[in-house]
């Protein structure tokens, strides 16, 4: 029977063996006793949350971090997780969202007295305890109360029969820089959790280290670490020294759909930002900024076709980019161009060309790019 499935024009090839290798290197670095929370927010940084979570679970990860309740419910109900798993939603919830945490056993971030009060009332009505983690602002300035207010929030949690405290965490503003500001944040966090555990007579899961601090602040590891970009094969800062090696998990590819020879002086693409200095072969590749190839990369990028690095020329358009193949080439329509990945430019290379970061490049790969898991 003829396969009528359309041939993908652009693909994000997700190499799950690279993901397994990256988590293995992280675990070797941090030690087997430390819990690892796999950060799978934003569709696992664009890689496909369900297959990524399934793979992480298969190598022993049972804690997952997502952005909000919508992502948490999608992960919980998506069928990827086969074992009991803790899912923490990092966003501070709105009151109408609390029901979702109770219905789907999601750990809720609490950093507000009003939300804590509402959560206790909802949990009592459901007849079940609501699992929460408390976020403390030690200097990120995004979510969380100051340490003194957080201590009072923790006391209120301990007085609530319907709330179960699962952890206390913070987030570093400069996690890839081991000294200075990170050190001050770490000291504030350590003082708070020490005070809480001494006053309450209990120990609690404490975590602060995302990818940067995993690499450069062993004293920030506490009970659990939260690798994000490291899982997907990149350093949080490409210039930082790395004690472990990681490999990109995603390779973005798109097909050559047209080739032509242009005469000297011929302009290519919108606004005529590039002109051929001499006769050249130009390939049109079926990916553009709607697929996640940044428009800011116009006349700056390079792709790999049949093992050869070729410059992108002209303005990046919504659906296509143009590539200078030179005077002689072996490229034909249907061949694949590697836009970034383990065999071509990396997401760091692209990010460096446009003043961005690898996180944004990966997360920008759109849903119309077919994910192929290999």
Alpha-carbon Rg for the chain, nearest whole angstrom, is: 24
What region does 180 belong to: left with phi over 0, alpha with psi -120 to 50, or beta? Answer: left
The contacts of residue 3 (CB under 8 Å, 6+ apart) are: none
| Secondary structure (3-state) at 254 | strand
Q: Where do we find the tokens 């799950």?
A: 16
Report how far apart, in Å, the C-alpha atoms of 102 and of each of 20, 111, 124, 129, 367 are: 32, 18, 11, 8, 30
DSSP codes joined into one string, 137-200: -SS--SSSB-HHHHHHHHHHHHH-TTEEEEEEE---TTTTS-STHHHHHHHHHHHHHHHHHHHH
Token pair, residue 213, equals: 């601090």
| Residue 151 labelled as part of a binding site | no
Q: Locate the DSSP E strands across the chain.
A: 10-14, 35-39, 63-66, 86-89, 107-110, 130-135, 163-169, 205-210, 224-226, 250-262, 267-268, 274-275, 280-285, 302-305, 308-313, 321-326, 336-340, 370-373
Which residues have a catalytic role annotated? 41, 270
H/E run at residue 115: helix 113-126
| Residue 1 labelled as part of a binding site | no
Q: Are 359 and 247 in contact (CB under 8 A)?
A: no
> Which of 248, 258, 228 minimizes the C-alpha distance to 337?
258
| Secondary structure (3-state) at 329 | coil
Residue ranges of the annotated binding site for substrate are 142, 318
Residue ranges of the annotated binding site are 142, 318
């Amino acid at each position: 029977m003829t396969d009528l499935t359309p041939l993908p024009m652009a693909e994000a090839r997700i190499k799950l063996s690279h993901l397994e290798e990256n988590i293995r290197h992280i675990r070797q670095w941090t030690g087997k006793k430390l819990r690892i929370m796999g950060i799978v927010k934003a569709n696992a940084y664009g890689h496909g949350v369900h297959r990524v979570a399934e793979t992480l679970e298969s190598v022993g990860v049972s804690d997952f971090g997502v952005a909000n309740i919508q992502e948490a419910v999608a992960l919980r109900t998506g069928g990827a997780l086969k074992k009991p798993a803790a899912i923490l939603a990092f966003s501070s919830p709105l009151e109408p969202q609390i029901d979702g945490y109770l219905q789907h056993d999601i750990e809720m971030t609490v950093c507000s007295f009003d939300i804590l009060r509402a959560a206790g009332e909802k949990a009592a009505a459901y007849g079940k305890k609501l699992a929460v983690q408390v976020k403390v602002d030690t200097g990120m300035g995004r979510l969380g109360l100051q340490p003194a207010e957080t201590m009072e929030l923790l006391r209120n949690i301990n007085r609530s029969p319907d709330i179960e405290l699962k952890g206390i965490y913070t987030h570093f503003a400069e996690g890839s820089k081991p000294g200075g500001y990170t050190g001050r944040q770490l000291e504030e966090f350590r003082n708070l959790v020490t005070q809480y555990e001494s006053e309450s007579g209990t120990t609690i899961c404490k975590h602060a280290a995302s990818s940067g601090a995993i690499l450069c602040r062993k004293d920030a590891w506490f009970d659990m670490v939260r690798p994000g970009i490291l899982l997907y094969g990149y350093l949080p800062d490409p210039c930082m020294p790395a004690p472990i090696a990681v490999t990109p998990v995603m390779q973005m590819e798109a097909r050559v759909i047209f080739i032509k020879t242009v005469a000297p002086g011929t302009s290519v693409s919108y606004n005529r930002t590039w002109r051929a200095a001499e006769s050249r072969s130009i390939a049109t590749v079926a990916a553009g900024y709607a697929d996640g190839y940044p428009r800011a990369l116009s006349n700056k990028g390079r792709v790999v076709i049949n093992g050869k690095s070729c410059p992108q020329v002209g303005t990046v358009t919504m659906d296509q980019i143009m590539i200078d193949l030179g005077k002689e080439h072996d490229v034909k329509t249907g061949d694949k161009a590697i836009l970034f990945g383990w065999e071509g430019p990396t997401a760091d290379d692209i990010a460096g060309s446009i003043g961005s970061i690898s996180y944004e490049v990966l997360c920008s790969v759109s849903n119309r790019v077919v994910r192929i898991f290999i």
